[in-house]
Chain A
Amino acid sequence: MTMPADATIHDIGYRRYEGARLGARGAWIALWWQGVRAMFGLGRPAKAKLVPVFVVVVTLLPCLALLAASSASGGQLPIRYGTLLDGRLILFVLFAAAQVPEVLSRDQQHRILPLILTRDVTRLQYASARLAAVCTAMLFVALSPLLLLYVGEIGVATDPAAAFREMGHTLGALLLHGTLTAWVIGSLGAALASFTSRRAYATASIIGTFLVAAAIATGLDDLAGVSVRAAELLDPIRALRTMGYVLFEETTRGMELNPPPSLWVYSALLTGIGAAAAVGLVLRIRRMSV
């Protein structure tokens, strides 16, 4: 930049702000959007984008491959969404474990919370905006590859209109499953992360909780002789997995032997787990001393 020789920087001093103030709503949206960006490492150094990019790529690639296969066979090869979901639920847990602390532990770690809470943000608004941010990002990660696949599958079919009539109801199933996945993993992750200011502890506690739940469910099933369907209700990941199979009307050998309960049971259970975690998060943020 060239400047004339006599150029000076004029100190205009402090100026009043007379413009609009959006109040608590504007603040809530800011907190939410900053949280969503943090979940994907946006506006952060490249290192912060590692896990989000990995998860998005790994969830997206199989969908693209399936789409290519489906396209090559002219839509003759039906896509099994339940089976597809089965393998990737653990990825969503990893994504939550790696990224949720960015949204909930970081403000505690760097003690930014007092700055936020002395502005147009109450503790309840803070907790809800952060929870919404986590769930929004989780929903995007969980749903977008499948939606892409779904749209693609209809697109590559020889007769898209007929394909849509045939699998129109799948869209609702996809949305329901994606929402519940985001709600359960997001809420649990957010609640757990809010309890510590250390990112590593938060990550470990999220992975640990899902592992312990899985271990208990397996233990009850294998050792205590509790029915596999009852036991897996304790493990959100297995509950989501079985619910996926039921939703997309696919069956596994295990399900033929032990028919799963109705979708209502799963929906109520998963909604309840997420809600309990959300209440835990709000209580924690309320009582946190800053």
Chain B
Amino acid sequence: MTALDALTVTVEPGITGLVGANGAGKSTLVKILLGLVEPSAGEAQVMGHDVVRDRAAIRALVGYMPEHDCLAPDVSASEFVAFLARCSGLPPAACRERAAEVLRHVGLFEERYRPMGGYSTGMAQRVKLAQALVHDPRILILDEPTNGLDPAGRDEMLALIVRTGREFGISVLVSSHLLGELERICDGVVLIESGRLIRAERLGALTGETGTLVVEIDGDAASFCSALLAAGLTVRAEHARILVDLRDAANTEALQQIHDCVRDVAVAADVGVLRLVRSRSSLEDLFAGAVV
């Protein structure tokens, strides 16, 4: 079975989303970057270090938050995080201090002395993020960090990721199958499907203005639509909205003419224009387009 196939991608610093449906190969890509799985062919580099040959160099640079549960129920969060800090080679005293610090950073206070078996999903996710941060990595790899969280918990986790990524200069690679949330926090996005790369772009480029003008009117959409067609525009009606194709418009002047034309037709037909706006594609549209 091939989980990843002919996938070539470069991830820039900043917060990057790794998007794909379940089974698209997100976790496999993450595990290859972490050196947990050896690629059967091809190569990968993390900050210039080869994942197979320079594994030791990568380990101090990377913090990993897995998708699955990974907490021991019978120890406390502070003990657990301090132990993992020691596994990253930090001296014992520094481990306790760092553990307390990162747990406070993710919002765990007195609870951190209680056994983790009694934690809520939200608290468990925070501990998982804290352990990924405890050795002060340069890159955080978060596999589905919002999995299982309620909307409020989701927002808090995303805010935490943004803070960590933006304020402290740690690059973040965050995987998710939920596009909406990535749209809110990412600088760039890598879209994969069945182990193949679909797109990898900065978010601005992906969700920029599209070649469609959305017109919403107060009146009969069908007759307005035919009036626009008569005026020489390419249009189609979508429910109550009318979508005007702008792809033929080569420059701003041509765009302006189309806008004017819509206005004139509206005046002639005596309908009120409620909304006249260039549509922006969302990640959802991109994703839907990619899957089919």
Contacts and interface: CB of A to CB of B under 8 A. Distances in A.
A48 B89 contact: no
Contacts of B92: 30
A253 interface: no
Contacts of A16: 136, 168
B73 A110 contact: yes
Centre residue among A21, A45, A114, A118 by max chain B CB count within 10 A:
A118
B131 A115 contact: yes
B168 A14 contact: yes
B8 to A, nearest CB: 24
Q: Number of contact residues on A: which range applies?
A: 35 or more
Contacts of A31: 87
Contacts of B35: 118
Contacts of A20: 90-91, 94
B64 A114 contact: yes
A48 B74 CA distance: 10
Contacts of B94: 17, 19-20
Interface string A101-137: 0000010001110111111111000000000000000
Given A20-B91, A21-B90, A26-B91, A111 B70 contact: yes
Given A111-B66, A119-B59, A120-B56, A27 B89 contact: yes
B98 interface: yes
Interface string B99-112: 00110110000000
B237 interface: no
A120 B87 contact: yes
Given A27-B89, A116-B87, A13 B70 contact: no
A115 B59 CA distance: 11
A117 B136 contact: no
B36 A116 contact: no
A13 B167 contact: yes
A24 B64 CA distance: 18
Interface stretch (B78-86, B177-185, B254-262, B278-286): B78-86
Given A13-B167, A110-B71, A118 B62 contact: yes
Interface residues of B, number: 44
A187 B87 CA distance: 23
A43 to B, nearest CB: 7
Contacts of B136: 16-17
A25 B86 CA distance: 10
A14 B89 contact: no
A110 B56 contact: no
A34 interface: yes
B133 interface: yes
Which one of B90, B102, B104, B136 has the greatest number of beta carbons of chain A within 10 Å? B90
Interface of A: 11, 13-17, 19-27, 30-31, 34, 43-45, 48, 106, 110-112, 114-122, 289-290
10 contacts: A17-B90, A20-B91, A21-B89, A21-B90, A26-B89, A27-B86, A45-B115, A110-B70, A121-B87, A290-B36
Given A24-B89, A114-B70, 17 more contacts: A13-B168, A14-B163, A17-B98, A17-B136, A20-B91, A20-B94, A22-B90, A26-B91, A27-B89, A43-B79, A106-B72, A111-B70, A112-B72, A115-B70, A119-B84, A120-B59, A122-B55
Closest 10 pairs between A and B when the two form their complex, measured CB to CB: A30-B86, A17-B136, A119-B87, A26-B89, A120-B89, A119-B88, A23-B89, A118-B64, A14-B168, A22-B89
